Amino acid sequence: MSDTFDPNLCRILREAHSIAILTGAGISAESGVPTFRDALTGYWANRNPADLATPEAFMRDPELVSRWYDQRRCQLASVKPNAGHVALAELQRLAGAEGRRFTLITQNVDGLHERAGSIGVINLHGSLSRWRCIRCAEEKPEHGPAFNEYPVRCACGGLRRPGVVWFGEALPADALRAAENASRTCDLFLSIGTSAVVYPAAGLIDLALANAARFVEINLEPTPYSDRADWRLAAPAGAVLPALISASNRQ
Ligand code: OAD
């Protein structure tokens, strides 16, 4: 990874008063977590989201949906944060030490940002490791081995579902509000490892641009927002982020 970056990018990363970051599945790809839309390897490359990631799918076949999400949850035990996650936790520490605002917003449900040391992460799409009952609404963290029965049952007899946002569902209101506030008031917005096609998450970029924030896109492939980026780094986040933050600190 070349560590020659535009000095203006390094300067704004070091001087921005308020940084907002939106991450997607691409930042966890180097940890071995599949993305959704990458051809051949993405979850949606050979699965239909409507069969797995909607409330209707769960009610139609709770066993199939529960098995798929629990399989993804259990895979988290064998993956760990990569250098990209660690670099963002370091950037948060550096910005915080200088009294600069830093908000990390993620669409991911894998918890890898928190495991890398990031704090106050806004989880727009929930968490694979929290399951709740659709009857009594009890929600509990689940970090153990695979459930021993599917669909998963609550003590009250109700069905338990993964604590993730499905297509057609509203995002957690507090999380979305906090994400929108951070995005519309930041002076630097970074979009990292997301195809930026799922709303309202992708709309956070519009909020930042409407506030004349500088916009950095770090993504292997172009996105609908690439043309509006002040800087576009089409390289693996796990390589770019440590190099960029180190170069910014050296300037
Ligand atoms: P996608 O799979 O749509 O996009 C991931 C992006 O990351 C792609 O554009 C890749 O080019 C890029 N990418 C892959 N590896 C990378 C790497 N090492 N470094 C940098 N970029 C890399 O995933 P998301 O944009 O996160 O929602 O998808 C958004 C939402 O759609 C997800 O939260 C999920 C999904 O359906 C729900 O399930 C509700």
Q: For residues 123-136, give the mean pLDDT.
A: 98
Query: Annotated active-site positions, please?
Result: 125
What gap in Å lies between CA 155 and CA 176, rounded to an integer? 31
| Residue 45, pLDDT score | 86
Beta strand 159-164 pairing with 152-153: antiparallel
Distance CA 94, CA 50 (A): 42
pLDDT at 39: 84
C-alpha dihedral sign at 103, 119, 100, 23: negative
**What percentage of the chain reaches a pLDDT higher than 70?**
98
Q: Is 84 in the pocket of ligand 1 (CB under 6 A)?
A: no
Query: Whose alpha carbon is nearest atom 36 of ligand 1?
Result: 36
Is residue 2's pLDDT more than 60?
Answer: no
Quote the pLDDT of residue 92. Answer: 98
Q: How many angstroms separate the alpha carbon of residue 43 from the centre of ligand 1?
A: 10
Instruction: Give pLDDT, residue 88.
Output: 98
**Separation of 25 CA from ligand 1 center, angstroms?**
4
Residue 42 Cβ < 6 Å to ligand 1? yes
Residue 121 CA to residue 8 CA, distance in Å, equals 27
Ligand 1 pocket, residue 191 CB under 6 Å:
no
Least Cα distance to 133 among 149, 155, 117 occurs for: 155
Q: Look at residue 250 in the predicted model and tell me its pLDDT.
A: 81
Residue range 209-218: mean pLDDT, rounded? 98
CA–CA gap between residue 111 and residue 115 (Å, rounded): 6
pLDDT of amino acid 47: 87
Ligand 1 and 107: CB distance under 6 A? yes
Which residue from 65, 195, 199, 205 has its CB within 8 A of the most atoms of ligand 1, so it is best to mutate? Answer: 195
Ligand 1, atom nearest to 218 Cα:
20
Least confident of 33-42, 91-100, 150-159, 240-249: 33-42
pLDDT tens-digit readout, 44-72: 888 888 899 999 999 999 999 999 999 99
Range 121-125, long-range pairs (CB < 8 A, 24+ positions)? 122/175, 122/178, 122/179, 122/182, 123/172, 123/175, 124/165, 124/171, 124/172, 124/175, 124/176, 124/179, 124/201, 125/164, 125/165, 125/171, 125/201
Top-confidence residue, 41 or 145 = 145
Q: Is the CB–ligand 1 distance for residue 38 below 6 Å? A: yes
For the stretch 170-204, pLDDT in tens is 999 999 999 999 999 999 999 999 999 999 999 99
Tell me the mean pLDDT in the region 145-167. 97
When pLDDT is averaged across residues 91-113 and rounded to a whole number, the result is 97
